[in-house]
Amino acid sequence: MSLEELFKKYKQLYRRDVGEAFRFYADNIFPLIAGNVRLQYERMLKEGLRQPPLMAIISVGHSWQPVALITSAVLSYGRKVGIEPSLAFIMTEETRSTVEWVSFALSSLGLDIGDNLIEVVLKRKDDIEEIERRLLSEDMMRLLSSKNVILADVTGGTKLMSAGLLYSMLSLKYLDENLRIYVTYMSYGPMDREINEPEPGHERLILVGDPMEVMDDMVMTRAVELMRAGWYRAASKLFQALSEATDDYDKAGVYRFLLHLSEAEEAAESYDYLKAAKILERRLREIKNLKNMVRDLFGGEAASQIYDLYFSLSSLSSLADVFSGRKRVTDFASNPLPLLYLIADFLIKAGRLEERREHTVAALLYYRALEMCFQALLICKYGVDPSNLDVDKLSRKIGMDGKKLEERFLEEARLFSEEVGEKRAVSGVPSKLPLIDSYLLLRALGDTIASEIKFRELYNGLEARNSSILVHGFKVLRPGDKSITNLKNTAYRVFRRVAKELGSKRPDLLLNGLRRFEDVATYVPGKL
């Protein structure tokens, strides 16, 4: 019978009598899949461990198959090379029956646990402290230290039991650095919906690695996740802990650089671009020496992005005096690049907020990006200060009578109100120009970019911001809301046109230059 047919019969028995089904599985299915797992185990030893473990510590839950599989692999290979590995099962009184079924299944292969089993019976299955206390007791420590090479399998039991075993192995490694400890895990294929058990034949024994490396991987993965979530200070603390815990000079260098990178990105998030650029500038020499390692850990794109981000932040840092009030934004009329980078940063930040499902706040940034696009055109193309419009000066610059300009503005305002069905009290060209007034003035000036944006298109986009709970209304934006999609599309469309009109850099380069490291980093656990 094929494995599929055997499993089908097992399911039939399972519905009638679980005990009879388990016996059938142990006699007929288990030997087939155990042979495959044993081959994986031998390959793992040859390629990774080099030396077979003298002790296997295995967490035990209510499912006996994973425990039996790893135990059979350890014992059968030990017999093959002439060693007799010791076993320790982390279990509870409730899972004693699991151990009995493990013994029964092993007997079908001619294997016997014998006197080599140490039962670590917990009072509570999820007590991590008890697991550590029992495994690091004086007697257990003496035994473990004598074994030299230890395998810890975290497949069985609850997640907290597995975490307790992993944490204990990490502590053991700290206490005795001469020990070689390896963590393994058994992965399975699809679950059978009828009996909620994995279909046999898909088992794969995975070498997770040394517990120190596993912990580094877990912390590194978490730190990058925190960066993506915008929790840069928390990420910095994790990178600091990693750098202090390792003796590897290159690893420590990467961790310290990531710590400073997190600090730089945190500064950039709060618009302190000058501080962010200075932090990165001081660390560029470090990353030059560590570039190959960063590329190996996070990918070539992430390594290059560090430099792109630095150059973008350096350009943005020139706006520091504008933010503090020491300079006017019109001082950048002949150098629009920092303004274009600022708009690009608004768009990038808004996108990250959307990924975090903060759509209502994202709408504010999309709105401001669109507003700044129109204002940048007025500043750099027409010499207009949007915060203090001088109509006479503008009229002289463009060679148009001031009254004529005002008439054209009022006509655009009237057409806009008619199209969107919203009355606006407009008596002339205002001295301060928010988004709609900047847009209408540009149309009055005959600007092609503003003229390409239809009244209704602009208005539909602005609804996302204007009706939101943070501005004039009570609407909370949710994923898929058309209004924020309209606003986003309009903002990006106008930005690309404005960037081409005013800048020397392509719009995509402006946007890509401000992607954060974590936006492009692809860290894969196990690379450390």
**163-176: per-residue pLDDT in tens?**
788 878 888 877 77
DSSP state of 333: T
Structure tokens at 476: 């909370």
pLDDT per residue as tens digits for the range 466-497: 777 888 878 788 888 888 899 999 999 999 99
Q: At residue 214, does pLDDT exceed 80?
A: no
Quick one: average pLDDT of 123-141? 83
Q: Report the C-alpha gap between 29 and 331 in whole angstroms.
A: 78
**Closest of 315, 364, 324 to residue 342, by C-alpha:** 315
Burial class of residue 80, CB neighbours in 10 A (0-12, 13-18, 19+): exposed
Instruction: Give the three-state DSSP class for 292.
Output: helix
pLDDT per residue as tens digits for the range 429-442: 888 899 999 999 99
Say which residues have a Cβ less than 8 Å from residue 256's Cβ, sequence separation at least 6.
Answer: 239, 243, 286
DSSP state of 332: G
pLDDT of residue 149: 85
Higher local confidence (pLDDT), 144 or 36: 36
Look up residue 397 and give its amino acid. Answer: K
What does residue 89 show for φ and ψ, rounded to 5 degrees?
Answer: -105, 125
Quick one: average pLDDT of 419-424? 78
pTM reported for the whole predicted model: 0.66
pLDDT of residue 425: 67
Say which residues have a Cβ less than 8 Å from residue 432's Cβ, sequence separation at least 6.
Answer: 386, 387, 388, 389
Q: What angle do CA 87, 34, 4 make, to 5 degrees?
A: 145
Q: How do strand 149-153 and strand 55-59 relate by DSSP bridges?
A: parallel
pLDDT of residue 447: 93
* Interhelix angle 402-420/435-444, nearest 10 degrees: 120
**DSSP3 helix / strand / coil % (the chain, rounded to 5):** 65, 10, 25
Tokens 């209510």 found at: 62
**Closest of 460, 266, 485 to residue 366, by C-alpha:** 485
Q: Report the C-alpha gap between 481 and 358 in whole angstroms.
A: 12
pLDDT of residue 443: 94
Q: Report the C-alpha gap between 281 and 290 in whole angstroms.
A: 15
What does residue 198 show for φ and ψ, rounded to 5 degrees?
Answer: -70, 145
pLDDT per residue as tens digits for the range 227-270: 988 889 988 988 887 888 677 788 888 899 999 999 999 999 99
What H or E segment, with its residue span, contains residue 6? helix 3-16
pLDDT per residue as tens digits for the range 202-213: 888 888 777 667
Confidence of residue 526 (pLDDT cuts 50, 70, 90): low
The percent of residues in the chain predicted with pLDDT above 70, rounded, is: 97
Rg (Cα) of the chain, in Å, rounded?
A: 33
pLDDT of residue 508: 94
Structure tokens at 351: 């996108």
Q: Among 279-288, 482-491, 502-511, which stretch is predicted with the lowest mean pLDDT? A: 279-288
Q: Considering the chain, what is the average pLDDT of its residues?
A: 87
Tokens 């320790």 found at: 88
pLDDT of residue 61: 86
Instruction: Give the three-state DSSP class for 304.
Output: helix
Higher local confidence (pLDDT), 214 or 274: 274
Higher local confidence (pLDDT), 339 or 108: 339
Confidence of residue 527 (pLDDT cuts 50, 70, 90): low
pLDDT of residue 49: 64
Say which residues have a Cβ less than 8 Å from residue 457's Cβ, sequence separation at least 6.
Answer: 486, 490
How many Cα atoms sit within 13 Å of 372 on the Cβ side? 23
Give the best-scoring range by mean pLDDT among 124-138, 199-213, 305-319: 305-319
Q: How do strand 204-209 and strand 180-187 relate by DSSP bridges?
A: antiparallel
Q: Give the chain's length.
A: 528
pLDDT of residue 364: 94
Quick one: average pLDDT of 62-72? 89
pLDDT per residue as tens digits for the range 355-371: 888 999 999 999 999 99
pLDDT per residue as tens digits for the range 450-472: 999 999 988 887 887 877 788 88
How many Cα atoms sit within 13 Å of 242 on the Cβ side? 29
Q: Report the C-alpha gap between 1 and 220 in whole angstroms.
A: 47
